[in-house]
């Protein structure tokens, strides 16, 4: 990918703190328009990477560019290239969202008309219009994070850097923030660091996995899930049909394309070598034997399964 095509590019980017190698040389390209999930355990190097991308820390080696502007050499133009939400954003609690966004817009030297227009757009985008005149100090965690995303977008940057935006939120707050991130798809490139695998799997189209300061892989989410797919089908039989299950299990175990059958009560997991044969035969046979199914699903691994496999190697 050419530099102009990459919203974010790192070349040999690393950071060492004394004897600790917080980030090993990182080569990474994030395509424009992606929602990129940067996935890793706590302490894996996610925040270090973002601090280097934003210019808040200086690299030991390497360089980085955001929207074509180098951010590791002190170039003042870099401030306009991205918006940034740190893991624990801090606001003036006595301000209202309107006042705070106006304050941030003034830092970017936006004129009064542009400030009014952009603040109105962002309050609508992050669903804070009803709270526009309330003090930020009384906001919930989800409201604070949504306001944080609004301030990061105030100057209409092409890239948005989010460091663990959902880590401290309750389920409702996480849902709100993830829905907001999802709404930004193809409008801005989002670099979203997290250790919450389900959040990354839900909203990100591209995933990078980092472990102990080292980038293990970068892949499209769907391609990654397909690569590690397991040929397993899960079935759950209605309890009224449980007496019929022994005959079905005996039939399944006799098929040449079946590798293993695991039974737990009225639930079965069937491993197969030939997916097409399984799809053609299993469901019709279950129906023919009078089974009523509550569940019939070809199992695919979760991002958590893949992450644990990779990070334990």
Q: Are residues 214 and 242 in the same domain?
A: no
Domain termination site, one of 178, 196, 218? 218
Mean pLDDT within 100-123? 96
What integer pLDDT is reported at residue 279 of this predicted model?
Answer: 86
Would you state the pLDDT for residue 231? 81
Question: For residue 182, what pLDDT is reported?
Answer: 94
Q: Which pLDDT tens digit goes with each residue over 204-254?
A: 999 999 999 999 999 998 888 877 777 888 899 998 888 889 999 999 999
* Position 311 in a domain: no
Q: Structure pTM?
A: 0.82
Residue 136 shares a structural domain with residue 39:
yes
- Residue at which a domain ends, from 191, 218, 245: 218
CB 81 within 8 A of CB 159: yes
Domain assignment present for residue 143? The answer is: yes
* Domain boundary, last residue among 167, 191, 218: 218
What is the reported pLDDT for 155? 96
CATH code assigned at 156: 3.40.50.300
- Alpha-carbon span 128 to 98, nearest angstrom: 10
**pLDDT for 140-156, tens place per residue?**
999 999 999 999 999 99
| 3-state secondary structure labels for all residues of 109-140 | CCCHHHHHHHHHHHHHHCCCHHHCCCCHHHCC
**Domain range for residue 242?**
232-305
């Amino acid at each position: 990918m050419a530099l102009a095509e990459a919203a974010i590019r790192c070349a040999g980017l690393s950071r060492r703190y004394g004897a600790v190698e917080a980030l090993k040389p990182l080569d990474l390209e994030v395509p424009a328009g992606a929602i990129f999930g940067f996935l890793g355990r706590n302490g894996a190097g996610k925040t270090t990477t973002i601090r280097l991308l934003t210019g808040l820390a200086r690299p030991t080696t390497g360089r980085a560019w955001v929207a074509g502007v180098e951010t590791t050499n002190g170039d003042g133009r870099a401030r306009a290239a991205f918006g940034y939400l740190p893991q624990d954003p801090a606001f003036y609690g006595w301000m209202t969202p309107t006042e705070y966004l106006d304050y941030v817009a003034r830092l970017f030297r936006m004129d009064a008309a542009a400030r009014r227009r952009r603040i109105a757009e962002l309050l609508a985008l992050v669903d804070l219009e009803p709270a526009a005149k309330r003090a930020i100090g009384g906001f919930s965690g989800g409201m604070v994070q949504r306001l944080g995303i609004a301030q990061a977008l105030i100057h209409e940057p092409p890239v948005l850097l989010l460091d663990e935006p959902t880590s401290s939120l309750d389920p409702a707050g996480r849902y709100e923030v993830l829905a907001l991130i999802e709404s930004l798809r193809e409008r801005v490139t989002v670099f979203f660091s997290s250790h919450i695998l389900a959040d990354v799997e839900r909203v990100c189209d591209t995933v990078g996995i980092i472990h102990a300061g080292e980038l293990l892989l970068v892949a499209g989410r769907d391609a990654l899930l397909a690569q590690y797919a397991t040929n397993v089908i899960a079935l759950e039989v209605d309890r009224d049909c449980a007496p019929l299950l022994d005959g079905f299990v005996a039939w399944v175990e006799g098929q040449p394309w079946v590798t293993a059958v695991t039974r737990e009560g009225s639930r079965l997991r069937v491993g197969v070598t030939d997916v097409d044969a399984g799809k053609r035969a299993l469901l019709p046979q279950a129906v023919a034997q009078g089974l009523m199914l509550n569940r019939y699903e070809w199992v695919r691994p979760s991002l958590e399964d893949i992450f644990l496999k990779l990070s334990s190697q």
